[in-house]
Amino acid sequence: MSPVDPQQHLDPVSDRLRERSVSGAAMSLVGQGIRFVLRMASIYVLARLLTPEDYGLVGMVVAVTGLILLFKDLGLSMATVQRAEVTHEQISTLFWTNVALSTGIMLVTAAIAPLVGWFYREPRVVGITLAVSVGVLLSGLAVQHQAVLRRRMRFTTLAAIDVASDALGMIVAIAAAHYYDAGYWALVLQPLTAAALNLVSVWIACPWRPGRPARGTGVRPMLRYGGNLTFFRFANYLARSFDNVLVGRVWGPESLGLYARAYSLLLLPISQINAPIAGVAVPTLSRLQNEPERYRRYYLKSVSLIALLTMPLTALLASLSEETILLVLGPQWTPAAQIFLVFSIAAFAEPVVSTTGWVYLSLGQTGRLARWGLLFATLRVLFFAAGLPWGAFGVAAGFTLGFWVLTPFVLWAAYRVSPIRVRDVLGAAVRPAVVGLVVAAAAHLARGWLAGSGAGTIIAGGTLAAAAGVALLTLVWPALRRDILGVAALRRDLRVGDGASTTEDAGT
């Protein structure tokens, strides 16, 4: 029996790229939908078994250790996906690089545990930090196998693994909180359990096995790509998580629990839409980087899809913020409602703005991504600090103000060296934005009519009113009908070209 060539497990698929991209997006969306249900169930149950302080304690650790954990990947997974051609020797070298990084970061994270406790003046976070360090190694061992599966466009497999990992993590956390009164340790066990199952699963699903690391394999450009991406992630961390550090340090674990839970609850449904589309879009755009018109068409269609799905949803959540917090988290979380509302003002456009990262990554422009990211992150931190004297609500207001002030510059910086123009993206998002405003108005009116009813009744009434408003708008606005039909007919519209002969591709 001849030995199996490991290279066959690494080469990107070249046949039926369009069908694989569309079916991958569809399966990823299904997987994200299931994960969303699981996570909402987890939030609903755990929010009633645990306290804001429990969430705040874990949030304190994650906010600090997140800075260190950025370096466990070093952007090497995206380098594996983005490259047109890679060899077994290159991926093996990257794998062992990831293992070395993860081991080193695990030890560093464990070593700084006492410093984290000292910084927050909270001894309980020391044990949490030690536990978090174990998860670094677990995730580091899975990085390259996940990247190979993504490179091979095995999105259905990845979605199934994610669903199973989330489900087991949720079961373990709820059992620990309910039966063993584990408190904040339930929140620590949840990601550790998910990471362990994910590691085992990707190694089973991906037949590629690493060889020995080797010199002279040509990984330097990939390391440079990954290093620039990591630098951007460092900057992005400052923009996304330094607010948690500030709130936790100055206002304590309870305020941080309210702040972080409001943000994560708002982000959860949006990320379930964004993540699977991004997971398919970046590899596809990377294959189209030498075909500007196809690249532009695919990107704008993806932006339109994201905007049409997320803007109305965010508007609905904003209009029903108090009822959403009360229904999902329970009465003890009521102070988070105003924070939730302020965040939603930024979240209305954030999913569209976040697609600028696809452009940098797919075109291999991680150097530009890192430089601009650091500048914008520094400015966002200044907005956080400005709101800090007013507590968690003030920091949330600073976050939102900073987002809208900087967004025009973020768009300009991303598109200036690409086939995309800012006006193209605005054109793709304008109709979804109008739909969002109609949804907000309809839900707000229904909320007034149903004042005094229970949270569930108000949410149901607001959702029905919003749906009626969208239906009416669709009837009177032909362009919106075309957008919605375009989303429904995703197989036809998301054309990325795979070498097949089509009328449009042939230019006839």
What residues contact 16, with CB distance under 8 A and at least 6 apart? 498, 500
Positive or negative, the CA dihedral 38, 256, 124, 117 is positive
Can you give the pLDDT at residue 80?
A: 64
Interval 65-121: pLDDT, tens? 777 666 666 665 666 665 656 777 777 887 888 888 889 889 989 999 999 999 999
* 1 in a structural domain: no
What residues contact 75, with CB distance under 8 A and at least 6 apart? 225, 226, 227, 228, 229, 230, 233, 366
Closest by CA to 245, choosing from 381, 371, 376, 78, is: 381
Q: Which domain holds residue 53?
A: 6-499
In the predicted model, what is the mean pLDDT of residues 18-28? Answer: 62
**DSSP summary character for residue 154:** -
| Percent of the chain's residues with pLDDT above 70 | 82
Residue 387 backbone zone (phi > 0: left; psi -120 to 50: alpha; other: beta): alpha
Which residue is listed with tokens 């070395």?
100
Total domains in the fold of the chain: 1
**20 pLDDT more than 70:** no
The C-alpha atoms of residue 121 and residue 315 are separated, in whole angstroms, by 39
Residues 143, 267, 201: CA angle, nearest 5 degrees: 25
The C-alpha atoms of residue 402 and residue 380 are separated, in whole angstroms, by 6
In the predicted model, what is the mean pLDDT of residues 26-52? Answer: 87
Which residue is listed with tokens 């290159």?
90
End-to-end CA distance of the chain: 50
Residues 419, 78, 347: CA angle, nearest 5 degrees: 65
* 151 in a structural domain: yes
* 449 in a structural domain: yes
The C-alpha atoms of residue 187 and residue 415 are separated, in whole angstroms, by 40
* 435 in a structural domain: yes
Predicted TM-score (pTM) of this structure: 0.77
Residue 22 — pLDDT band, cuts 50, 70, 90? low
* 154 in a structural domain: yes
Closest by CA to 266, choosing from 338, 341, 329, is: 341
Can you give the pLDDT at residue 23?
A: 63
Contact 202, 211 (CB under 8 A): no
Closest by CA to 372, choosing from 229, 179, 178, is: 229
Interval 141-150: pLDDT, tens? 888 888 888 8
* 505 in a structural domain: no
Closest by CA to 91, choosing from 136, 138, 152, 134, is: 152
Interval 173-230: pLDDT, tens? 999 999 999 999 999 999 999 999 999 999 999 888 888 776 655 566 666 666 666 6
Can you give the pLDDT at residue 97?
A: 82
Can you give the pLDDT at residue 508?
A: 30
Closest by CA to 374, choosing from 400, 406, 349, is: 406
* 285 in a structural domain: yes
* 488 in a structural domain: yes
Q: Minimum mean pLDDT among 198-202, 342-346, 372-376, 388-392: which range?
A: 372-376
Residue 165 burial (CB count, 10 A):
23
Helical ranges in 288-390 per DSSP H: 292-319, 321-328, 336-347, 350-354, 356-362, 366-387
